[in-house]
Structure 1
Amino acid sequence: MTIQTVPPAAAPLLALTPGAPAPRVAVITGSYGAGHNSAAREIARVLTTAGCEVAIHDVVTLLPWRIGPILRRVYYAQLRRRPNSWGTTLRLLEPGRAAHRLVTWLLAFAAAPVVEATRGCDLVVTTHPFGAQALGHARTTGDLAVPAVTYLTDTSVHPLWIHPRVDLNLAIHDVAAAEARRWGGRTDVVRPLIPTRREAPAPIHGEPRAADITGPWALVTGGSLGMGQLAATARDILEDGQMTPVVLCGTDDRLRRRLARIPGVVALGWRDDIPDLMAACDCIVQNAGGFTSLEALASGKPVITYRPLPGHGVANSANLEAAGLIPWARTPEELAVWMAGAQVAPRHNRLPMDAPDLLDVLTGRHAATVAA
């Protein structure tokens, strides 16, 4: 893809004027996974450091009729019990489908509580597609008079992420930006935000720390929820014999107990030392391509996609591979080859860190990029 430089927007989305009152910014997350929350916290940290007053809101609590928590329970149950159906669900939510019309109609009702929650703000940023649809509707009706921005947390962009009346979408890679533009969104590429800490929704068990694990080992992750075929991945790594599988089970304590019974597998629950674990392992095996994959890439260790989650996991994996960021091992044999290479591979950060940072984009101190 050819990238060309164009002049920045005439008016910045965020004004930082010395001596003026601190700009007020609302960040709308969606607690359907830790990645959206992590992105929201990092955005809040950057803007607070720059002198803004920032408040974070959860679209789950803003949706009408208490449907937010219901959708979250259904989503979690679907990924745990019928994961293969998630890809079908995402296809049904594409434009032109009845489900897409129903969901966007429903999310329009969230516009009023979103506007109320963000009243008095100078800028609203969302890290979840539900927030993007609600903000876009509010911009369409004129109920939201300040700029709205969507921060795209993944390298693949489902059309629900994009509303044509959202002022700007921020993508973490050219591949994601191109998809967002295909769906009709004005999009800039920004330097990825890497989480500096993790929220703690679950107890931390008395498990080994990074320094306690010896020999070559692969850190296996399914994100904060411990989703996907992590047990099968651990068995494939065991059978190959090159490395010990150390599995991050996240908040799924049942999975942790089940994997702990498999000889040779190290099963970890919720951890607050993910950077230490990533720095100490020999490679990272991931299946979702979300915010955890950004942490993995930033660690400088070799990262491999294996047995990706249906739907967004497969889409993210394909884009990460196409971008040259993370290879996708499609068979146990391919996984073995990549793990062997990981033990001699150079360590470096493959993230596109030369893109403008979030603050430069929002304040207009950059040259916007668009696909030619």
Structure 2
Amino acid sequence: MNDDPNILILTAGYGDGHIQVANALRNEFHTQGVRSVHVLDLLDEAHPRLNSLIRYIYLKSGPSQRAGFDYYGWSYYSTRNLNYDKWLAKPLLALGRQKFKQVIRSLLPDAVISTFPYVPVSPLCRKSGIAIPTFTVLTDFALHNRWMISKSDRFYVATKDLKEAMIQRKIQPRQIMVSGIPIRESFYASVDTCKLYEQYGLDPGKPVVLVMAGAYGVLQNMKSILEHLTALDNVQFAVVCGKNGKLKEELQARFAHQPQVKLLGYVETIHELMRLASCIITKAGGITLSEAIKMNVPICIFKPFPGQEKENARYLNDRGAALVARSAEELQEQIRKLLSDPVAYRRVKSAISRINSQQQPNAARSIALDVLETVNRLGTHHRNHMPTHERIPVPMDRLSF
């Protein structure tokens, strides 16, 4: 029995999604009484300058794609079925490897959880001479072979279909739990919607369309979207611009005099707006989609970027749980029909409910309890495998506790 487990969670700063998942897990471990939980952006710790460059390239992939240079989509699809055991993949697996070994030898964690497809975590732990159970949390609805890099003892996925796809790629069924993607605890809390309408200046007598530009305000063609949507009668719009202050200023100049449009910047309490929303317009990031699914809010996805966003959108669209629009005109028509046709509206919500029913009621809690059960079953024998004089100190300023 391990009464004081030590948990390491690996994440990455490409968008906010992976960090949100890591934080949701950390908070749940704290709720379960675990004091030592460390969240580490491994690539940022190992190669900060390279990480900054990769992050910049990632954030610029949207504008580049619109300009006809789709390097992100090309890299995603060209490596989707790549065998990472082959020599061709060796350079991709080298980044962060040495730093990971140092962290392992310094922290001696009882469990390592990956929320981003990094290094081959499980083999590296074994090569370090330390028996540590490893876990990977997939944050998408579609499978890419890079999620198997970790060779983890357990994988947590969003759907039964994703589990079946992993089984086809030789992962054992007992290694896979359909947990759902961890989201913030606030999405499970009850709220007083009457107060929320007043707080956000919204009319409780009209449907609310929540337009989410993403954390960095990268949803395409926001001005055109709103120009088309505001032509709809008896509908109001809560527009979240994220951290893109320039976008908010541009939209403010255009829509300031239209009372049905409420413009907001970065909103930490997005769960409150989802509670009020009749539907949302969003990018196809796995975490935002999971939040909407948990809230049972119909989803409209606008021009998903090639890569995991496009695959997430395709998966939900094929199952009737989301609508995908390729133009502002198509989006306008989808919203009009969705809000005016009760049968179509119920059909989408039913499809969302079917996906939700596959998942655990609280993904973060189910994952944390499963990890702790594994740690308790294995005990703490690995702590004594690494002599004290061999432990390598690691800078702790980048670790979040």
Relative to structure 1, is the Cα distance of residues 47 and 88 closer, same or farther in structure 2, using a 3 angstrom cutoff?
same
Inter-partner Cα distance in structure 2 for 1:251 and 1:102: 38
Please give the secondary structure, in 2, of the residue aligned with 1:71: helix
Tell me what 1:234 maps to: 226
Tell me what 2:315 maps to: 319
Mapped contact 2:215–2:243 kept (Cα < 8 A) = yes
Residue pairs, 1:153-172, within 5 angstroms = 153-163=139-149, 165-172=151-158
Select between 256-265 and 120-129 the one with higher mean Cα deviation: 256-265
Amino acid at match of 2:111: L
Report how far residue 121 of structure 1 moved: 0.4
Tell me what 1:220 maps to: 211
Relative to structure 1, is the Cα distance of residues 295 and 302 closer, same or farther in structure 2, using a 3 angstrom cutoff?
same
Inter-partner Cα distance in structure 2 for 1:127 and 1:233: 33
Mapped contact 2:186–2:271 kept (Cα < 8 A) = no
Mapped contact 1:220–1:230 kept (Cα < 8 A) = no
Residue pairs, 1:22-61, within 5 angstroms = 22-52=4-34, 53-61=36-44
Tell me what 2:383 maps to: none
Report how far residue 120 of structure 1 moved: 0.9
Matched, 1:89 2:75: yes
Mapped contact 1:127–1:150 kept (Cα < 8 A) = yes
Residue pairs, 1:64-143, within 5 angstroms = 64=47, 66-83=49-66, 85=70, 86-96=72-82, 105-118=91-104, 119-130=107-118, 133-136=119-122, 138-139=124-125, 141-142=127-128
Amino acid at match of 1:40: A
Relative to structure 1, is the Cα distance of residues 97 and 27 closer, same or farther in structure 2, using a 3 angstrom cutoff?
closer
Amino acid at match of 1:217: V
Mapped contact 2:338–2:345 kept (Cα < 8 A) = no
Inter-partner Cα distance in structure 1 for 2:244 and 2:322: 25
Relative to structure 1, is the Cα distance of residues 43 and 217 closer, same or farther in structure 2, using a 3 angstrom cutoff?
same
| Superposed CA offset, 1:112-166 (max 9, x none) | 2123223310100011112xx3425524745663121110112122222222622
Matched, 1:273 2:244: no
The number of equivalent residue pairs is 335
Please give the secondary structure, in 1, of the residue aligned with 2:254: coil
Mapped contact 1:60–1:68 kept (Cα < 8 A) = yes
Inter-partner Cα distance in structure 2 for 1:256 and 1:104: 43
Report how far residue 242 of structure 1 moved: 5.2
Inter-partner Cα distance in structure 1 for 2:217 and 2:29: 31
Please give the secondary structure, in 2, of the residue aligned with 1:224: coil
Residue pairs, 1:183-202, within 5 angstroms = 183-185=169-171, 186-196=175-185
TM-score normalised by structure 1 residue count? 0.78
Tell me what 1:352 maps to: 356
Select between 116-125 and 88-97 the one with higher mean Cα deviation: 88-97
Amino acid at match of 1:196: E
Relative to structure 1, is the Cα distance of residues 65 and 244 closer, same or farther in structure 2, using a 3 angstrom cutoff?
closer
Relative to structure 1, is the Cα distance of residues 116 and 165 closer, same or farther in structure 2, using a 3 angstrom cutoff?
same
| Superposed CA offset, 1:216-275 (max 9, x none) | 331111332222315133233224445233321111111111222223443321012211
Mapped contact 2:293–2:356 kept (Cα < 8 A) = no
- Of 48, 52, 63, the match for 2:46: 63
Relative to structure 1, is the Cα distance of residues 141 and 64 closer, same or farther in structure 2, using a 3 angstrom cutoff?
farther
Mapped contact 1:110–1:134 kept (Cα < 8 A) = no
Matched, 1:249 2:245: no
Amino acid at match of 2:56: R
Inter-partner Cα distance in structure 1 for 2:111 and 2:101: 11
Bigger proportion of residues as helix:
2
Please give the secondary structure, in 2, of the residue aligned with 1:245: strand
Amino acid at match of 1:233: I
Amino acid at match of 1:190: S
Inter-partner Cα distance in structure 2 for 1:92 and 1:210: 47
Relative to structure 1, is the Cα distance of residues 338 and 110 closer, same or farther in structure 2, using a 3 angstrom cutoff?
same
Mapped contact 1:248–1:269 kept (Cα < 8 A) = yes
| Superposed CA offset, 1:316-338 (max 9, x none) | 01112334433434533334322
Inter-partner Cα distance in structure 2 for 1:42 and 1:68: 23
**Rg (Cα) greater in structure:** 2
Amino acid at match of 2:211: V
Mapped contact 1:284–1:302 kept (Cα < 8 A) = yes
Please give the secondary structure, in 2, of the residue aligned with 1:218: strand
Q: Considering only aligned residues, what root-mean-square deviation do their CA atoms show, in Å?
A: 3.2
Inter-partner Cα distance in structure 2 for 1:295 and 1:249: 18
Inter-partner Cα distance in structure 1 for 2:112 and 2:300: 35
Tell me what 1:297 maps to: 293
Relative to structure 1, is the Cα distance of residues 88 and 191 closer, same or farther in structure 2, using a 3 angstrom cutoff?
closer
Mapped contact 1:282–1:343 kept (Cα < 8 A) = no
Report how far residue 96 of structure 1 moved: 4.4
Report how far residue 24 of structure 1 moved: 0.8
Mapped contact 2:156–2:178 kept (Cα < 8 A) = yes
